[in-house]
Structure 1
């Protein structure tokens, strides 16, 4: 059965997207990519520009050897103009029209700016970018992003880097139910593989991971665990889970039970 992740008409080999920041070493990053085999890896233009030349060369050589599609992001941007400028530079540097749109509205929670996000997405779509906007679970904002041409959304599970998992299950599930045909990738806040498995069981199309892997004691092992959890959750969703019930229901039928288990009041 073909169950490939499709974004903007392109197919990806995995439903795991992997961030490349804050790993203890390039070797740990390489091992994590090898372990999870992600569909895309994110790269931050601003972080690469701030890095020294030698480390940047090693970083890109590490990514090239796995031939994983790059997803540049606009991390660190606080204004629409910053986003557009960073995206244009990223397109030149990385040679791709893909962009993960990040526009921070609050420095404490790193929550996306909902008003500026829609404006920035509109400008980037018009400029020919394939925009994956990092947003909250707000349904109305999600619809506005779709209205301006985004073909997928990346709602958070919790604030970036917290590892809290899903702080608003109701909101995320409503988003999934109300936008059944839109690719939804949960981005930010996941901490352990069970968090990823849960959202995949709800019908989300993928997850983006960074801190949960890069800050684990054994990043590659955690990357492998997350990849397995995403696959298990997706398979469970496709299998169609049984309905939840409030009362017990025997899984073994009563018909054919031995006579001494029947309610006769005494043993015959």
Structure 2
């Protein structure tokens, strides 16, 4: 399928790529930049808490090396333990977007995580922060547990997407919440982005085959032996899964069904 016929639409913007990449945990800045380039992703998420607030600072040279005419910044509120902290990070994220020339960028990946051991998102804090930020004009992409009812509540509030985890962040365990992910995808009228837990391209493909609108990942690429090559593999996995979903899987059958019908053989 041609790219321009199957765009990902979030908050009034359209994207060709359905793969989003994080920018943490890379061994070197060069690894991060090469991975972003080889992935052909268009949305890059950056943890605001880990960055200086002024892009002119030499310590933030990584952001200066990215081509922001082709990329869209997705600031994230990682490290926020309360709704109030997340809201403050969202406003700082918009300031950063303005500094790279994206004054109209009010996107925010909303993370409220008060659990230090398993890093599971706080549903109450997420709802509270999402409601406030939406009223302030932000395009909110909330990171959540694979909870179908929470996903519906966030969609009702006006979130631009829902981003359920496949398994705990950074774990590489894959899609451990298949039943709930399928329910969320079936019920959602906004894009569903599977976020966290994916460790291999086959898992990214599986998420897309389920009907997810996209995949966001970081550790699987950043901690691989060859990040740029893994980023390319993830790109191809996402594309394959999307094409398979659109093509429609064959129906499963209980019995074997010969691929060469007998009536054709009899005529030979």
TM surpasses 0.5: yes
TM-score between both structures, scaled by the size of structure 2: 0.91
1:252 aligns with 2:260: yes
- Hey, what does 1:4 align to over in structure 2? 7
SS at match of 1:75: coil
Q: Pick from 212, 226, 232 the counterpart of residue 224 of structure 1.
A: 232
Alignment coverage as a number of residue pairs: 257
Write the mapping of 1:58-137 to structure 2, written as runs, cut at 5 A.
58-64=61-67, 67-95=70-98, 96-137=105-146
Task: Tell me how far apart the structure 1 counterparts of residues 153 and 170 of structure 2 sit (CA, whole Å).
Answer: 26
Write the mapping of 1:230-245 to structure 2, written as runs, cut at 5 A.
230-245=238-253
Long gaps (5+) in structure 1: 260-268
Higher Rg of the two aligned structures:
1
Task: Tell me how far apart the structure 2 counterparts of residues 62 and 174 of structure 1 sit (CA, whole Å).
Answer: 40
Long gaps (5+) in structure 2: 99-104
SS at match of 2:199: coil
Given that 1:26 and 1:62 are in contact with CA atoms closer than 8 Å, whether structure 2 keeps it comes out as: no
Given that 1:42 and 1:73 are in contact with CA atoms closer than 8 Å, whether structure 2 keeps it comes out as: yes
1:156 aligns with 2:170: no
Q: Which moved more, 1:203-212 or 1:241-250?
A: 241-250
- Hey, what does 2:203 align to over in structure 1? 195
For 1:19-65, what per-residue CA distance to the aligned partner results, in whole angstroms no more than 9, with x for missing partners?
Answer: 01111111111110110011200011111139994331x21112236
Q: Pick from 114, 118, 139 the counterpart of residue 148 of structure 2.
A: 139
Given that 1:193 and 1:229 are in contact with CA atoms closer than 8 Å, whether structure 2 keeps it comes out as: yes
Q: Pick from 50, 53, 58 the counterpart of residue 54 of structure 1.
A: 58
